[in-house]
Each structure stands twice: as C-alpha cells, then as structure tokens.
Amino acid sequence: MSDSSFPPRTASYEADPEQVGRVLLLYSGGLDTSVMLRWIQERYEADVVTLTVNLGQPGEDYAVIEGKARQIGAVECHIVDAREEFAAEYLVPAIKANALYGGGYPLFTALGRPLIAKLAVEYARRCGCDTIAHGCTGKGNDQVRIEATIATLAPELKVIAPVRSWAMGRDEEVAYAREHGIPVKGGSESAPYSIDDNLWGRSSEGRWIEDLDEAPQEDVFQLVTPPRKAPDEPAQIELSFERGLPVALDGTRLGLVELIERVGELGARHGVGIIDHIEDRIVGLKVRDIYEAPAAAIILPAHHELEQLVCTIHQNQFKPDVDRQWGYLVYAGLWWEPLRTDLDAYIDAVNAQVTGTIGLELYKGTARVTTRSSPNALYDRSLASFAHSGGLFAQTAAPGFIELWSLQSRMAWQLRNR
C-alpha cells in the first residue's frame, strides 16, 4: 500500500481527511470492507461503526459478520433486518411498475442501494458519525446510488469510498489482510466472482463473465438450478394479487417476504430466472452480468399478465413507457427524484384494478402463464366468443367501423401512390 497523500476532492460531499473522526462503514463482511474497516482506523485515525443490512440475501450468518467486525476493531456493530421495508417500500413499487432495465434486469441491486444508504444516514446520525464509508468501486453504478442518496438525505454528512483511491488489487488486499490478522476466505489464487444479492435476485460479475464469447460456466449458479438439471415434472402454481400487491401463493395468504422467498425457491428448483445480460451502466461502460432472479422471473410476468387483462388498450399502450422511465430512474440512482413519485401516482392508479389470480407452469427454465382470472378483467366471454353471434356486439356494424378507422390511412395511401 502506498502512503501517498489523499486524492483531491472533486465533490462537496467528499470528506477532507481532517474532518473524519467517526465513520459509519457499510459492512458486508467480505474482503473489501474488512480491509477497509482496518484501513480507515489506520489512515484516518478514526473510530469505525459498522452497519450490515439484511435485505434477504440467502445464507448470511450475521453473528459471524458481527464477530469479524469487532475483531477488526469496530467500536459499534449494527445489524439491521430491513427485509420487510425492502419488500413493502421498494419491491412492491417495482412490481407495480413491471420494473426491468434493459429489457431483462429486475433491478434488485438498484432497489436495495437507496434503502441501504438511507439506513446508513439514520445510523450515522444516531451514532454520532460525521462520515459514511462504502466499498463500491469507481466504475460501477452502486457508488452513484449510495452517494446520491446520502447527499440528498443528509447534506451534513461526508462520504469516503476507499476502493476508488487506495490502489490495492485483490492480491494487495489479501496481503494487507494477512498482515493485519484479518481472516480471509479462500486464497489469493481463487479470485471469486463479484456477487451482490438480496430477496429479489443475485448478480455475478468478473472472471470469465467479462469475456463476452464465453458461455456461462455452471459454478456461477449458486441460486438457480441449471435448467437442464431441473425436474422433469413441471410445477403448477397460482399467484394472487390485490391492487397490484402479491398476496397469496396457491390460495394461501402470505406475508410479502415469505411469499417472495417461497416463489423464489420454486423458481430456483425449476431453473427459472437466469438472465445473461449486457448492460449500459450509468457511468458509460457496457458490462455483462449473470443474474439469478427466480422470484422476479415469476412475479413480474404474472403481474404484467394480470395488468394487461384489467387495463384498456390505451392504458396498455401507455404504461410501458411510464414503467421504462421508472426503471431507468431507479437504475440510474435517482430513487429520490420527484419524477419517480409522480410516476408512482400514475402507476398506483392503474394498479388499483390489478386484482386477481394468475396460474403459471414452471418447467426447466421457463415460467409460462397458463390461467388468468380477475373480477376486473375487461373480458366478456359472450362478447368475445366465436360460438356466440349477436348480443351487444353487432358484427354487422363492423364494416362501418373499418371504413372510418382506415379513413386517413387510405387517403394517404391514395395520395402518395398516385
């Protein structure tokens, strides 16, 4: 590690080294933030308070994370279970907005960051910290989402992001960790994927994923069963929604977190939710991500199907534009932007009708909608049916409709093809 002076500040919210006295570190327990926990104490001569946020990432042992933080010298360690808030305040709006970025990414990381940063602000204030530290790099989206949130909600707090400037690669970090008695999982030879996960999905970056001509290697899939290894028997499930909110699985009402977890387990077993995605990052880079998002890959299409059934053709034409804008704002780190809440008002108004049940078949990597029912469906079997003639729908009136409907197009055709 070099002992060069700190890099010059380029933004008002960046901390001057002499302003840093007590730091709230967003701590995952991984290598970067563990090295950082020690490095901040050393470089800034500051106390460090850690905050670890549970957003439903599977297989995390929070007692172990807390023990590690204390061992590395944290003066206070906080673990927050934010699963309910994440589901209710972040995932539900995303479901109502059919939120996908770039046509495929269900935004789980992008949805989690504003909540994590909001909690960092709350704990920094409560614990008397002047600065918040995080482990994001200078190339990604997450630094934007976290720092934009902090600068918006807490103009009095400063930020440091050591990974952007400390010029340590993985090998140097492992060496620093060994030197300072910080436990390291694996070895420097086995560089891991860069993982981020929560209730709504899991992303992997790095290693072969950066080679666009490499097909996915199976060791990346730690959540979803590769489709060809999924059961030969399909599963049928039913998801019920009330006003856009998922409320029941197979007729059993469940709390949101439990419902998402159970749907995710079913999808994972059947190979559903693998997304191999090239993405335009906010900072201008294109990047490839491998996503595993089994719950989102079932709940989003079910919601969309129900919405299509209860909305008019005009709403169905218009809402995707609103949804896309919503997803872009969230991806781009502008969760607190007023336009997002403006769009939510429209999205909620539409979702007031989105009540009913969608049946899906899960089979070797696909979730296919098979049944639909809703008290608000704009569907009348007797009007739509081939088997019935007459009634309110006068087929004999159709030619008059067609004549007027095609009027302008016919006129233009005649004029331009004379």
For binding to ligand ARG (CB under 6 A), which residues are involved? 109-110, 141, 194-196, 203, 205, 279, 289
Location of structure tokens 């006068």: 394
- Catalytic one among 47, 142, 197, 323? 142
113 in catalytic set: yes
User: Among residues 113, 202, 203, 240, which one is catalytic?
Assistant: 113
Q: Which is nearer to ligand ARG, 196 or 292 (CB)?
A: 196
Question: What does the angle CA 158 – CA 160 – CA 161 come to, to the nearest 5 degrees?
Answer: 145
User: What gap in Å lies between CA 350 and CA 247, rounded to an integer?
Assistant: 18
Whole-number Å distance between alpha carbons of 297 and 71: 40
Question: Is the Cα torsion angle 165, 170, 171, 173 positive or negative in sign?
Answer: positive
In the bound state with ligand ARG, the residue whose beta carbon lies nearer, of 139 and 388, is 139
Sheet holding 201-205, edge to edge: 194-198, 201-205, 286-292, 274-280
Q: Residue 216 corresponds to which tokens in the numbers above?
A: 């996915």
CA 305-248-199 angle, to 5 degrees, is 85
Element (H, E) at 8: none
At its nearest, how many Å lie between ligand ARG and the CB of residue 203? Answer: 4
Edge-first strand listing for the sheet containing 245-249? 252-253, 245-249, 235-242, 356-363, 366-373
Which residue reads 């159709």 in tokens? 398
CB of 117 to ligand ARG, least distance (A): 14
Q: Is 219 an active-site residue?
A: no
| 143 vs 351 by CB, closer to ligand ARG | 143
Smallest distance, Å, CB 102 to ligand ARG?
Answer: 9
Do the Cβ atoms of 362 and 270 come closer than 8 Å?
yes
CA count, 13 A, side-chain hemisphere, 185: 9
Minimum distance between the CB of residue 415 and ligand ARG, rounded to whole angstroms? 50
Residue type (1 letter), 37: L
| Catalytic annotation present for 194 | yes
Question: Shortest Cβ distance from residue 391 to ligand ARG (Å)?
Answer: 51
Neighbouring C-beta atoms of residue 93, cutoff 10 Å: 22
**Alpha-carbon separation of residue 368 from 91, 159, 301, 315 (angstroms):** 22, 45, 9, 23
Residue of 43, 130, 194, 269 marked catalytic: 194
Closest distance of CB 29 from ligand ARG, Å: 15
CB of 51 to ligand ARG, least distance (A): 18
Choose between 100 and 299: whose C-beta lies nearer to ligand ARG: 100
Nearer to ligand ARG, 205 or 250 (CB): 205
Q: What is the CA radius of gyration of the chain?
A: 25
Our CB check for ligand ARG shows the closer of 262 and 277 to be: 277
Q: Between residues 34 and 203, which has the closer beta carbon with respect to ligand ARG?
A: 203
In 3D space, the residue among 128, 158, 161, 162 whose CA is nearest the CA of residue 18 turns out to be 158
Three-state DSSP state, 68: helix
List the catalytic residues.
Answer: 32, 113, 142, 194
